[in-house]
């Protein structure tokens, strides 16, 4: 099977990719969110020339094709290329599922079914009392039994969102949610190792189970100091898109739980490589998926299939005040929560269709085999 056409539909926040094979069959995928309109240009300029007209009928062929993109675009090893590759990769997996009339989870060796979810807050500009109040409401309405809140300021150079907020939200959450709730917290690269250890000890005293990205994520040695000192699970990896960095992170056991983001990393194939690395080292995988675009759907399917899946799915609780762009994306939302669980259905592929009204309003671009210029082989 070869792909003859790649189409993209984007705005600044999110972009979808449709691939069309020689026989007219198609699949839908997604570019990574945030500056998706820039990623759209990378898809057509730096991914399409290497993947169109190439055999991708089996996952191993797709994986090799993604390697080819990496090799041919070796001067551009950064995040945007991976975010664009992810759009192609995830569209091909949808195409596989549609062709075989199976959900992607089944293609990966798993099955349709439920996935336990944790309610994930993205907000720091909220008081601990208000945060705890809305988590209680979500527990009562949707049955969540695990909850994540934010500590420090995002990449905050050791500063809090406002003085004392971190020290206040930790006991506030435990007091409001009770002893049985699983509590997680994300520092988003805020703290020095010394400060992170101090916060971590407080988290342990209040029964938190997950301390995410305590130090600048690119400083693996700093994160390892925190991991080695604390008993609480220290987690990270969402921003990392470079496989050698993943290998180093896992080999040095910088974290206790790995958190790849399928779209930041470059798609399902590359995520499976991280999953395998983690499995060999006995580490669970709890992916990052912080909005209700297709990235959460991709993660649901992955967690239904991999042997070292973490305990739960990250599920954003933010509404239109925070993510106004995540509404109206799908003909039918795949994100219903019941008794604290999301559900992977038996529908083929990813099991969703992009809403035609959204597509009509998006910035459209296409590249066909016939459109391709002769690739530049040296730069």
- pLDDT greater than 70 at residue 79: yes
Residues 71 and 157 in one domain: no
Q: How many domains does the chain have?
A: 2
Residues 138 and 224 in one domain: yes
- pLDDT greater than 80 at residue 125: yes
Residues 75 and 114 in one domain: no
**230 in a structural domain:** yes
**258 in a structural domain:** yes
Determine the structural domain holding residue 243 and report its residue range: 105-344
**The domain that contains 140 carries what CATH number?**
3.20.20.120
**376 in a structural domain:** no
Q: Which percentage of the chain shows pLDDT scores above 70?
A: 98
- pLDDT greater than 60 at residue 50: yes
**379 in a structural domain:** no
- The pTM for the full model equals 0.97
Question: What distances in angstroms separate CA 42 from CA 35, 46, 85, 86, 89, one per listed residue?
Answer: 11, 5, 9, 11, 14
Task: Give mean pLDDT, residues 310-317.
Answer: 98
Task: Give mean pLDDT, residues 127-136.
Answer: 98
Question: What distances in angstroms separate CA 376 from CA 50, 79, 301, 372, one per listed residue?
Answer: 11, 21, 37, 11
**233 in a structural domain:** yes
**377 in a structural domain:** no
Alpha-carbon distance of 206 to 227, in angstroms, equals 18
Residues 176 and 277 in one domain: yes
Residues 284 and 161 in one domain: yes
Residues 325 and 358 in one domain: no
DSSP for 224-260 reads: HHHHHH-SSEEEE-TT---HHHHHHHHHTT--SEE--
Residues 57 and 90 in one domain: yes
- pLDDT greater than 80 at residue 376: no
**The domain that contains 95 carries what CATH number?**
3.30.390.10
Task: Give mean pLDDT, residues 201-208.
Answer: 98
**260 in a structural domain:** yes
The whole-number pLDDT of residue 373 equals: 74
Residues 97 and 110 in one domain: no
Residues 180 and 281 in one domain: yes
């Amino acid at each position: 099977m070869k792909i003859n056409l790649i189409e993209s539909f984007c705005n600044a926040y999110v972009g979808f990719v449709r691939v069309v094979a020689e026989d007219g069959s198609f699949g839908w995928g997604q570019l990574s969110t945030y500056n998706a309109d820039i990623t759209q240009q990378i898809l057509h300029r730096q991914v399409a020339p290497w993947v169109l007209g190439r055999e991708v009928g089996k996952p191993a062929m797709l994986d090799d094709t993604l390697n080819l993109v990496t090799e041919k675009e070796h001067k551009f090893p950064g995040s945007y290329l991976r975010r664009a590759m992810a759009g192609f990769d995830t569209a091909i997996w949808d195409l596989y599922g549609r062709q075989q009339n199976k959900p992607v989870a089944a293609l990966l060796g798993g099955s349709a079914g439920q996935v336990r979810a944790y309610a994930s807050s993205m907000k720091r500009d909220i008081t601990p009392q208000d945060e705890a109040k809305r988590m209680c409401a979500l527990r009562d309405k949707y049955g969540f039994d695990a909850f994540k809140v934010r500590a420090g300021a995002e990449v905050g150079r050791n500063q809090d969102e406002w003085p004392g907020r971190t020290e206040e939200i930790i006991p506030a959450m435990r007091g409001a949610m009770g002893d049985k709730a699983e509590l997680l917290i994300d520092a988003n690269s805020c703290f020095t190792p010394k400060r992170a250890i101090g916060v971590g000890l407080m988290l342990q005293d209040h029964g938190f189970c997950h301390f995410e990205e305590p130090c600048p994520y690119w400083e693996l040695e700093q994160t390892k100091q925190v991991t080695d000192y604390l008993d609480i699970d220290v987690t990270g990896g969402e921003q990392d898109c470079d496989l050698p960095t993943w290998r180093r992170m896992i080999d040095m056991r910088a974290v206790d739980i790995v958190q790849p983001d399928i779209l930041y990393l470059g798609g399902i194939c590359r995520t499976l490589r991280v999953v395998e690395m983690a499995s060999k080292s006995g580490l669970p995988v709890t992916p990052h998926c912080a909005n209700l675009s297709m990235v959460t759907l991709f993660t649901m399917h992955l967690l239904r299939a991999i042997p070292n899946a973490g305990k739960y799915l990250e599920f954003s609780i933010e509404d239109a005040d925070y993510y106004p762009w995540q509404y109206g994306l799908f003909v039918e939302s795949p994100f219903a929560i019941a008794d604290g669980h999301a559900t992977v259905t038996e529908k083929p592929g990813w099991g969703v269709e992009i809403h035609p009204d959204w597509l009509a309003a998006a910035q459209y671009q296409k590249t066909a085999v016939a459109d391709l210029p002769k690739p530049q082989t040296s730069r």
